[in-house]
Chain A
């Protein structure tokens, strides 16, 4: 009797179980042209590398099906246009019926994905859209993968200036930022932290349009307020324009910070040059800082795999964005290997279950209840010319991550 019941139950399970799909469809967008191409393409290349490795190993292990299934990356070019991106996100969901939806890089191109994903009840794997408005308690369909939310991110620098900087004589701070979701939120949060601590005086706090590339007059205006520290927050193009103008202006400040000096060192080096970047401060990206991992490759192994996939001359640069794309693939992989079902909220549960446990080459993975990334706190570092036209970035804060002491200008 028992055996018959077990047999019956077995038949029932077999007949009711969903058929095993031929492939897991992972949908994403990339920007081959336009202002966001420089951050989007490397992230997409990182995702492609991940998909290639997964398929070479027989596919993704998907727990609900109990087997490995090949992954198919479906990607369209949004050309850095939010209008095009909105259409393409809808197509990925409605026409291609992707199982996993990954946003394009950066806050601007992620901003249109957030309401679309929510409307379609698709869980959005957000690679690097750190804008605060994306994360709300009433939206369960998003999680930020590889960078801290922009309101939390500047806390490390604020702490650094309020402690180490203050002891070195930094008193007056100028903040110049590009007015977009990413750097605008970042600047406001930084100013908020500094004002809350009340130890330093903000003497200049101005936004400029994101397409600003000439900073000569702005630097003259900043110099007129006599700051000790000048913090410029924008995209790589902004940083290049700012660093060049500063170098050519002959003005000197004791502390100069740019947002992408480390994240896009290669691009900034080509645009601004080592002399203009020497001695400036920036964030130390995971691509230059070997975190301890408990899932996926170490930084060294990933770097070797990247170089093998995209050798010199291939036109695909090594850097932080590529690592972030790859790391997002790792989170997708882990989520599918542990999820209890293929529903989007099942995926969400699987992703959130990794919060506080997963440590990848991008650092510790920890999510707040609204899906914001709060685990990866990027250290502050200082760039030093290596004498051969290159730069090396050394972490200087927080103390646990510091490899050297900061050198402030005179």
Chain B
């Protein structure tokens, strides 16, 4: 049972790395907290469900479409919302309020549009039967989702470390003011990061029915809480630390389900508290000294 839990935890954790990645990218680049992140993920799930129901589109095709559309929507949305926020004195607090409102609005509108019934995608679309990995039986859709998550993480890594735009993005993450002073088009870089973050959340949403069983308009807040735990563990503002955070969360969750199942939903909170007490900068954060 132990090995099974650990292996399942790693795969599940990879998925949650994808879930947290966009949230962390937005925080890292813009220093704002997108409380509507879970709702964007939910919209990705509903988009995949609609594309399958209406046009018979396979979830993998849907994932590509969702990525493109969400990036395209996220880019102008940035200009609509974020620059105004950043001009405010307390932009982090204001972002909490604004995105909380946006989250509520997305949930309400989705409820009106599709109702409250749980929706899902047939598991057979990503393969039927178990996949044996190191002796552990995993559903094939899990393995598929884990692989897609790993590819998405690798894509973000390549973007950040192997492209010029990625280098500029990292410069903004280090210091927005200095990036501005050196002539970097901060808004363009940030808008693209915002779009990519929404796209990643959308892709995570496409695979949510396979990993989480079903999607509902109300799933956003729960997803947010878990995503926060993942990115705080892996270091706020460090998108790649999210992978470690996701895997730690996944393994810890599966171990809790195996040995103390009733307490499993305490896990995100416990991880948050533990990290904030022991290593507030996160696992990959650098300690800073302020004179």
Which residues of chain B in 121-136 are interfacial with respect to chain A, using CB atoms and an 8 Å cutoff?
122-124, 128-130, 136
Most chain A beta-carbon contacts within 10 A, residue among B122, B124, B212, B261 = B261
Q: In the complex, what distance in Å separates the CA atom of A208 from the CA atom of B209? A: 19
Q: Is A249 a contact of B139 with CB atoms below 8 Å? A: yes
Tell me whether B101 is interfacial, beta carbon within 8 Å.
no
Instruction: Knowing A220-B8, A236-B118, A240-B118 are in contact, say whether A208-B257 is a contact too (CB < 8 A).
Output: yes
> When the two chains form their complex, are residues A217 and B262 in contact, meaning their CB atoms are under 8 A apart?
no
Tell me which of B4, B111, B212 contacts A220 (CB under 8 A).
B4
Residue in contact with B261 in the complex, picked from A38, A206, A242, A276, CB distance below 8 Å: A206
Q: Are A248 and B118 in contact (CB under 8 A)?
A: no
Q: Are A209 and B264 in contact (CB under 8 A)?
A: yes
State whether B139 touches A216 (Cβ < 8 A): yes
Which of A211, A221, A244, A272 touches B265 (beta carbons < 8 Å)? A211
Residues in B203-217 with C-beta less than 8 Å from chain A: 209, 211-214, 216-217
- The reply to whether the CB of A237 lies closer than 8 angstroms to some CB of chain B is yes
Bound: A407/B129 CA distance, A: 23
- Collect the chain B residues with CB atoms within 8 Å of residue A220's CB: 1, 4-5, 8, 136-137
Min C-beta distance of B1 to chain A, whole Å: 6
Determine if B12 and A244 form an interchain contact, defined as CB atoms under 8 angstroms apart.
Answer: no
**B20 on the interface (CB 8 Å rule)?**
no
Q: How many A-B residue contacts, CB cutoff 8 Å?
A: 133
The answer, yes or no, to whether B120 is at the interface (CB within 8 Å) is: yes
Q: Is A213 within 8 A of B213, CB to CB?
A: yes
Q: Does A53 interact with chain B (Cβ within 8 Å)?
A: no
In the complex, A244→B141 CA distance in Å? 11
Interface size class on chain B is 35 or more
Min CB–CB distance A96 → chain B (angstroms): 24
Instruction: Decide if B189 is an interface residue (CB 8 Å cutoff).
Output: no
Q: Cβ of A214 and Cβ of B261 under 8 Å apart? A: no
Residue of A34, A212, A244 contacting most chain B CB atoms (<10 Å): A244
Bound CA span A249–B216, Å: 23
- Contact partner of A218 (CB less than 8 A), chosen from B108, B129, B216, B261, is B261
A69 at the interface (CB under 8 A from B): no
> Which B-chain residue is minimally distant from A250 (CB atoms)?
B130
Give the A interface residue count (CB, 8 A).
Answer: 46
Say yes or no: A33-B111 contact (C-beta < 8 A), given A220-B1, A270-B120: yes
Secondary structure dominating the interface of A: helix
Q: Which of B123, B129, B212 contacts A214 (CB 8 A)?
A: B212
Query: Which residues, 49 to 81 on A, are CB-close (under 8 Å) to B?
Result: 80
Which residue in chain B gives the minimum CB-CB distance to A40?
A: B116
Interface residue A271 (Cβ < 8 Å from any Cβ of B): yes
Interface residues of A in 171-188 (CB under 8 A from B): 179
Chain B residues, CB < 8 A from A270:
117-120
Q: Provide the residues of chain B in CB contact with A283, threshold 8 Å.
A: none
A35 at the interface (CB under 8 A from B): yes
Shortest distance from the beta carbon of A320 to any chain B beta carbon, whole Å? 14
**Does A215 sit within 8 A of B, measured CB to CB?**
yes
Quick check: B212 and A248 within 8 Å, CB to CB?
no
A residues in contact with B217, CB < 8 Å: 33, 37
State A247–B123 Cα separation when bound (angstroms).
9
The smallest beta-carbon distance between A34 and chain B, in angstroms, is 5
By the criterion CB–CB under 8 Å, are B5 and A217 in contact?
yes
Q: Are B128 and A248 in contact (CB under 8 A)?
A: yes
8 Å CB contact of A248 from B12, B115, B140, B254: B140
Sample (19) of A-B pairs whose CB atoms are under 8 Å apart: A33-B107, A33-B218, A207-B261, A212-B257, A215-B213, A216-B8, A216-B142, A217-B257, A220-B5, A220-B136, A221-B258, A241-B214, A248-B130, A270-B120, A271-B119, A271-B120, A272-B120, A273-B124, A317-B115
**Given contacts A209-B263, A213-B213, A220-B4, could you give 18 more A-B pairs where the C-beta distance is less than 8 Å?**
A32-B108, A35-B216, A37-B116, A37-B218, A41-B116, A209-B262, A212-B257, A216-B139, A217-B4, A217-B254, A217-B258, A220-B5, A236-B118, A237-B216, A240-B213, A247-B123, A267-B117, A270-B118
Interface residues of B (CB under 8 A from A): 1, 4-5, 8-9, 12, 107-108, 111, 115-120, 122-124, 128-130, 136-142, 209, 211-214, 216-218, 222, 254, 257-258, 261-265
Binding site for B on A (CB under 8 A): 32-35, 37-38, 41, 80, 179, 206-209, 211-218, 220-221, 224, 236-237, 240-242, 244-245, 247-251, 266-267, 270-273, 275-276, 315, 317
